[in-house]
Structure 1
Amino acid sequence: MFLDNIPVHNLDETDFFVVERIENCAPLNFQGSHRHNFYELQFFTETGTNESHSIDFVEYPLQANQLYLLRPGQVHTLKLKDQKGFLFAINPDYFERLCLHIERYADHTFPNMLLLPEKEIFAVRQIVHLIYCEHEGLHRKSLLNSYMHALITHLLLLYTDTRINQDIRVGKVLSLIDKHYINERTTDFYAREVNLSNKRMNELTKKAVGHTVKQLIDQRLLLEAKRMISSGASSFKEIAFSLGFSEASYFTRFFKEQSGCTPEQFRSLLKKDLS
C-alpha cells in the first residue's frame, strides 16, 4: 500500500546513542512523515518565525530552548528551515536503563515537551556541548555515558520539580491505560487498580492532564488507530478488530467522533502529505 513508503529511521544496535546538529542534517531525511525505532531527543537552540512540527498528527509550535522527546513508533514530520540545535537518537534499552537510575521514574513521566527556564539554559547547553564535542572527537564511551546520564538526570529532575504536587496515582493510571486501553475501556477497571472512586480518579486526572480517564482511553485508541492506518499494513476492518471493536462500522463511527474525519478521509490526508 502507498503508506508503506513512510520511512523508518533506524539506529544501529551497536550505538547507544548518536548526536548531530539539526542544521547539518540531510533535508532528504525529513521529507514527509517518518518514524523511529529509537527515542529521539530534540533540542532546539534557535528557530525561525512560526515554525512547527507534527508528532502523531498533532502540530506543535517550535521555539528556542525547547526540547521534545519522540518515542519509538511515533509519526513525525519536520520541515528543516531555520532551526538550529541537536538531535539525539537514543537506543531504547539504553534510554530506559538510564532513566531507571532516577528515583520514582516511569517512562510516561518523561516530558513530551520541555521549555527550559531562563536559569537552566546555560547548564543544559553546556552539557549538550560536552556530549557533542566528545561524540565528534575521541568518542570515549565512558565519558559519553556520564555526560548523557547527566543530561537525562538534569531534564528529569527539572521536569519533576514542576510536577511535584501531582498525585503519584495519576502516573499509575496513565501507565495502566497505555497497557490495557484495548481490552479495558471502563473507568471502573482503572479506579479499582489504584484504589480510588471513579469520581476521585477523574478529579485527579483532570487536574493533572486536563482529561477524564474515559477521554484518555479514547485518545489512546485514536492514536493507535492513526498509527496503524499510517503504516498501511492493515485494512480498516483488521484495524477495527485488532483494537477491540466488534464491527468495522463501530470503529468508523468512533474514529469520526474523535477526529472529525473518517478513517478513509484520514488516509487520504496522509496520502496527500506524502505526494
Structure 2
Amino acid sequence: MSKAHIHTYDICSLGMGKPASEEMLVARFTDYLAAHPDIKFPHRHSFYHLAFFTGGKGSHTIDFERFPVERGQMYFMIPGQVHSWFFEGKVTGYVVNVSAGFFNAFLQDAAYVERFPFFSGVSAEGVVTLPEAASLAVAALFEEMLVEMDSTEAYSHDMLRLLMLEMFVKVSRVARKDDTRQEPPHNYVLLRNFRKLVEQHYMQLRLPKDYAALLYVTPNYLNAFCRHMLGKSAGEIIRDRVLLEAKRLLINVDISISTIAYQLSFADNSYFTKFFKKYEGVTPEEFRKNIS
C-alpha cells in the first residue's frame, strides 16, 4: 500500500479469518498485526478503533501527533481519524474495532458513547495511561470479550456491549482522576456541543460568532469558555480543525492543492497556501513532500 494515499478500512475488511462481523472485532494485537501487516501505514477507519498495549515499544501517530507506545496505554480513535504506528520488536495487547451503531440497539441515547472524554476526536485526549490495577482490570475485560467473540451462547453481543461499556467507564474514571479540575457537568456538555458543531460545519462556518449563535451564548463568552477549558480560543479550535483536514487531504497526492483549497472553502489556492504556511510554517507542497 502506498503511503501517499489514506486508505479507509471498514470492519469487514479487517476480519481475522472467521466470518466477518459488520459491527465488532476483538483480537490480540500480535494476531491482528500478523493478519494485517499493511496497517502500519497511515490509514483511517469507518468505525471506532481501540488499542490497548500490555508490552512493547514504539510510536503511534494519530492525526499527525506522535505518542510513545508503552505498557498500560490505551488509544481511542473515532471514525475518520488518520493514524499509523511504528513498533520496536514484539508488541502485545488487544485491539477492538466497533461500529458507531453497535450500541444503538442497546441504549436509548444514541450519543451516549460520544460523551466519554476519550472519544472527543482530539488525539491527546484519546490516549490514556492506566495504573497497574486498572490495567489488569481492563486486560481481564478484554479476555472476557475474546471469549464472547467466539461464543455461540445466546446474548453474546449483549455481553460484549456490557463488557465494553464497563471498560469505558473504568477508563473514564482514570482519565477524570488525572484531570485535577472539578468542572460542573454543564461545562462538559457545552464543550461537547461546540466541538460537535465545529465537526459538522468547519467547512462553511469559520467565525466564533457563528457557533456562539448556534449555542445561544455570546462570542466573548464562547472564547473565554474555550480558553478556560482548553487553553485555546474558539477561533483557534475552528482553525485547528481546518488545518487537520487540510493535512489529511494533502497525504493523497492524487488531489491537487487547488482542489483541496476548493474543498475547504478557500477563495483560491493562494489564500489557502498563505493560511497553511502561517500556522504550519511550511507550504502545502512542502508538507506533502515531507510526509510522503
Q: Shorter-chain TM-score category?
A: 0.7 to 0.9
What do the CA deviations read for 1:233-256 (whole angstroms, capped 9, x no partner)?
421111111111001111011111
2:229 is aligned to 208
Distance 1:194 1:5, change over 3 A: closer
In the other structure, the counterpart of 1:69 is 76
**More moved, 54-63 vs 192-201:** 192-201
Letter in 1 for 2:160: Y
1:92 aligns with 2:106: no
Q: Read off the aligned partner of 2:256 and give its amino acid letter.
A: S
Contact 1:236/1:263 (8 A) holds in 2: yes
Bigger shift: 196-205 or 250-259? 196-205
Aligned to 2:42: 33
Distance 1:10 1:171 in 2: 26
Indicate conservation of the 8 Å contact 1:38/1:89, yes or no. yes
TM-score (norm. length: structure 2): 0.80
SS of equivalent residue, structure 1 residue 54: strand
Alignment: residue pair count: 267
Q: For 2:142 and 2:218, locate their aligned partners in 1 and report how far apart those are by CA, in whole Å.
A: 44
Q: 1:21 to 1:158 in 2, by over 3 A?
A: closer
The yes-or-no answer on 1:106 pairing with 2:114 is yes
Structure 1 segment 164-183 matched on structure 2, within 5 A: 165=183, 167=187, 168-183=189-204
The answer to whether the 8 A contact 2:3-2:41 is kept is no
Structure 1 contact 221–243 (Cα < 8 Å) conserved: yes
Q: Percent identity?
A: 26
Q: Deviations over 1:67-89 (max 9, x none)?
A: 11222232211123332101112
Offset, 1:157: 6.3
RMSD: 2.8
Partner amino acid for 1:212? S
Highest RCO, 1 vs 2 (Cα 8 Å, sep ≥ 6): 1
Q: Which residue of 2 aligns with 1:128?
A: 142
- In structure 1, the residue matched to 2:210 is 189
Equivalent pair of 1:45/1:64 in contact (CA under 8 Å): yes
In the alignment, residue 90 of structure 1 is paired with which amino acid?
V
Equivalent-residue separation in structure 2 for 1:22 and 1:71 (angstroms)? 19
CA distance change for structure 1 residues 103 and 228 in 2, over 3 Å: closer, same or farther? closer
1:198 and 2:219 are equivalent in the alignment: yes
Aligned equivalents of 2:213 and 2:74: distance in 1? 35
Q: Structure 1: how far apart are the matches of 2:159 and 2:116?
A: 23
- The equivalent of 1:60 in structure 2 is 67
Report the 3-state secondary structure (helix = DSSP H, G, I; strand = E; otherwise coil) of the residue aligned with 1:192: helix
Measure the CA separation in 2 of the matches of 1:46 and 1:96.
Answer: 33
Moved more, 244-253 or 156-165: 156-165
Q: Which runs of 5+ in 2 are unaligned?
A: 13-19, 120-125
3-state SS of paired residue (2:74): strand
Aligned partner of residue 71 in structure 2, secondary structure: coil
Residues 66 and 115 in structure 1, CA contact (< 8 A), matched pair in contact too: yes
- In the TM superposition, residue 5 of structure 1 has moved relative to its aligned partner by 4.6
1:263 aligns with 2:277: no
Partner SS state of residue 184, structure 1 = coil
Once the 2 structures are TM-superposed, how far is the Cα of residue 219 of structure 1 from its aligned partner? Answer: 0.7
1:83 is aligned to 91
Once structures 1 and 2 are overlaid, which stretch shifts more, 202-211 or 176-185?
202-211
Q: Hey, what's the Cα distance between the residues in 1 that align with 2:142 and 2:230?
A: 29
The match for 1:246 is: 267
For the residues of structure 1 that align with 2:116 and 2:256, how far apart are their CA atoms? 30
Residue 109 of structure 1: how far off its partner (Å): 4.2
Residue 150 (1) aligns with residue 160 (2): no
TM-score (norm 1): 0.84
Q: Distance in 2 between matches of 1:139 and 1:94?
A: 19
CA deviation after TM superposition for structure 1 residue 105, in Å? 4.9
**Contact 1:99/1:105 (8 A) holds in 2:** no
Change (3 A) 1:44 1:34: same
